[in-house]
Chains A and B, each alone.
Chain A
């Protein structure tokens, strides 16, 4: 078959966003090429076997915000995508207790009451506020933001849509909304709850994946983002992609191929070909050149414009804006292969919440201090983590009877400070080991036997270097 050197559209990068865009374009009848520098597709939604028999979702590890409209439009279940929800979660305390988040609402009420009776109905009001904000913002997720200075019909219609939604709230609610969008998750939780442990458990959703602390303005809104997802219409539900997160991008890849799109792996974009102010195609680092009138980049904005686009083709103030765009790594990830299901002595037998997200941070103050370390260019000495054992639910992830644990750790800077200098080079083996030790020390709060027989290959640890996140 002839190798087309020109297409209707080219996408640089086979991450989930790039592939989604490519699928829509290909299904609309365009001839689409996706180029990817790795030998595999997936970007951060990838599953690879790093330990024989175990499958890791190396980077992203749970799924919620994949819009069901997209799943439906692209018919992804037909390409094997199954998202399986998980049940609740828990925060373990140093004194051997825990707060469990049950998906059964009545059990959750009883659990809240066990810690603080006043927080039971407070939780209803908290949920009401969060869900109302979600309902307000969710319709905007699949819309393009209007340009308020434009008089184009589309922009005016979008603006009108936004105003109508806002107007529907009324003055008091609108003020509440504005306050909510700018306040911290800490202040928001302090306004609702008494129990420090319950506050700490709920605060995770406001900071996870960000370079912000629980008292940083705007984190209440981040919470919204994590309640906005849906697995089957159950708002706030999170799930595992069966077979790992790579199953999502595999399905997207198969969908694209069926629609006639082409994926070329193993060669990344060396530069975007720009001529007379217009992008014309891509030159790959293996020398291949492809042309298309439309080129979309799935790389982050800095890489796209600072490393792969000729500076002289871009306006100077735009470039400065890109240079100032903040991309700050705040997280690390431990993927742990386990010989068996670790014991959680605090949990009742057969506790469903062990199949959910597990934590060991017990107060907002502790979380804020973890953030302070990061601001100083250090990893948190007492870190926050989001720990799951997906192999309890997904039978495809680990050999029979064995398990895999994913631990998302916050905060860890991308550039580690040492002797007054911040650099990614400082992440040597010793630094990684020290961070891992620090995390394991804290996991022992929940499961004391996690290190048992550690010198034997009970825990094979694998790293995803500190993922950059916005």
Chain B
């Protein structure tokens, strides 16, 4: 055999750049980077505090390119996806976005994500975990094609009360978009009114090659609107305030959990409203119908002023009943907030007399505090400006 492959492409080692990396590097004072699905992603660019307040007061750009993106097209696309996810996609029209969950046959969450209905037979699924194989299996027997667009489509989250004004200034008209609407505002540029902050905001999706130019355009337009680039840490505070869950933090994607019993169902994660048992069969339906939740993920208002990340939760100060999965000081609600997983019946039938055990390193001495926690039904951040259409300029 003499037909040896002469040019073999090798995979890059270490963290790889998104198309926005050059812009982010130029703006980074903190030089603090994290690994997001193999991409280099900013943890902080300036300071967490000022980036956080830019989300709630101005406008922010956050590079969400590392999300996995799959394009599902074909005559059976709706039927195939409707069998995959727990919601009824027949109710999701083209030009709309749906937050979706999909389960394994035990009813445990494989991942959550946003599904963009670009056309009657054209969907894009964005999620944290790689899903090409799972989607290919799910597509078996359907007339659809599943394409991995992860390295072709770049994404930017533009979030904050002046984000609409910034888009207008950039010449991108999105005034008619309602929450979860989606539009191709220019050829090859999709803008959806979605986000992970609970505030007014948009997500922009474009081809890899056009990404840097999009950044520059937004950056120039946003200067009069207080636009700032932000990293993961500020975004994470906002998403906990908004009450959104994060994969591998608030739940373990069932395909990656090594230990038995680590998977969680949508019901256990407090997302039963996202499950439609009336739509017909979907993955995990039978299991979900037959099982009682073993856990309850709840929102907690935590006493005191020390963040409770990782704290154990006790009932009547004695019995350990769960733990905090995400805990942070909320700069807007002015209180400690948390998402916590409690073992049933705690969090559902039993909701009172709950305590968090918080350890504080007070300059070299550990201090253990038991602080009261109360379960909250509403997100910690809610603002009418997030839903107003047309949106306000600030």
A interface residues (Cβ-Cβ under 8 A, vs B): 68, 71-72, 76-78, 80, 82, 84-85, 87, 103-104, 231-234, 242, 392-396, 400-401
A350 to chain B, nearest CB (A): 10
The 14 listed contacts between A and B (C-beta, < 8 Å) are: A68-B335, A72-B334, A80-B383, A82-B56, A82-B57, A85-B53, A87-B50, A104-B47, A232-B329, A242-B57, A393-B58, A395-B58, A395-B162, A400-B165
B332 and A68 within 8 A (CB): no
Contact of B332 with A393 in the complex, beta carbons under 8 Å: no
Docked-complex contact B382 and A233, CB < 8 angstroms: no
Bound together, the chains give a CA A7 to CA B58 distance in angstroms of: 43
Are the C-beta atoms of A77 and B49 separated by less than 8 Å?
Answer: no
Secondary structure of the A contact surface, majority rule: loop
Inter-chain contact count A-B, CB under 8 Å? 56
B: which residues have CB within 8 A of A?
A: 29, 47, 49-50, 53, 56-58, 161-162, 165, 224-226, 305, 329, 331-335, 381-383, 393-394
B57 touches A72 (CB 8 A): no
Residues of A within 8 A of B334 (CB): 68, 71-72, 76-77, 232
Q: Find out whether the CB atom of B333 lies under 8 angstroms from the CB atom of A401.
A: no
Closest to B57 in A: A84
- Separation in Å of the B304 CB from the closest CB of chain A? 11
State whether B50 touches A82 (Cβ < 8 A).
no
B161 touches A77 (CB 8 A): no
| Beta-carbon contact of B394 and A396 below 8 Å | yes
Beyond the given A77-B334, A85-B50, A393-B58, please list 11 additional residue pairs across the A-B interface where CB-CB is below 8 A. Answer: A68-B305, A71-B334, A76-B334, A82-B57, A104-B29, A104-B47, A232-B334, A242-B57, A395-B161, A395-B165, A395-B225
Cβ contacts under 8 Å, B332 to chain A:
77, 82
Residues on the B chain within 8 Å of A87, using CB: 50
Asked if B329 contacts A72 (CB within 8 A), the reply is: no
- Residues on B with C-beta less than 8 A from A232 are 49, 329, 331, 334
A78 CB → nearest B CB, Å: 7
Q: How far is B381's CA from A231's CA once the two chains are assembled, in angstroms? A: 17
Within 8 Å by CB of A103, from B47, B162, B305, lies B47
A242 partner residues in chain B, CB cutoff 8 A: 57
A85 and B226 within 8 A (CB): no
Question: In whole Å, how far is B175's beta carbon from the nearest beta carbon of chain A?
Answer: 16
User: Contact check: which of B29, B165, B224, B305 meets A233 at CB < 8 Å?
Assistant: B305
Contact A395 B53 (CB under 8 A): no
**Once bound together, how far apart are the Cα atoms of A77 and B381, in whole Å?**
8
Asked if A77 meets B57 with Cβ closer than 8 Å, knowing A393-B226, A395-B161, the reply is: no
Chain B contacts for A77, CB-based, 8 A: 332-334, 381
B residues less than 8 Å from A394 (CB atoms): 57
Chain A residues with Cβ below 8 Å from B53 are 84-85
Contact A395–B394 (Cβ < 8 Å): yes
Bound-state CA distance A78–B381 (Å) is 8
Question: Using Cβ atoms and an 8 Å threshold, which residues of chain B touch A82?
Answer: 56-57, 332
| A189 → chain B closest CB, angstroms | 25
Q: Say how far B159's CB is from chain A's closest CB, in angstroms.
A: 14
Min C-beta distance of B313 to chain A, whole Å:
20
With both beta carbons as reference points, the residue of chain B lying nearest to A242 in the complex is identified as B57
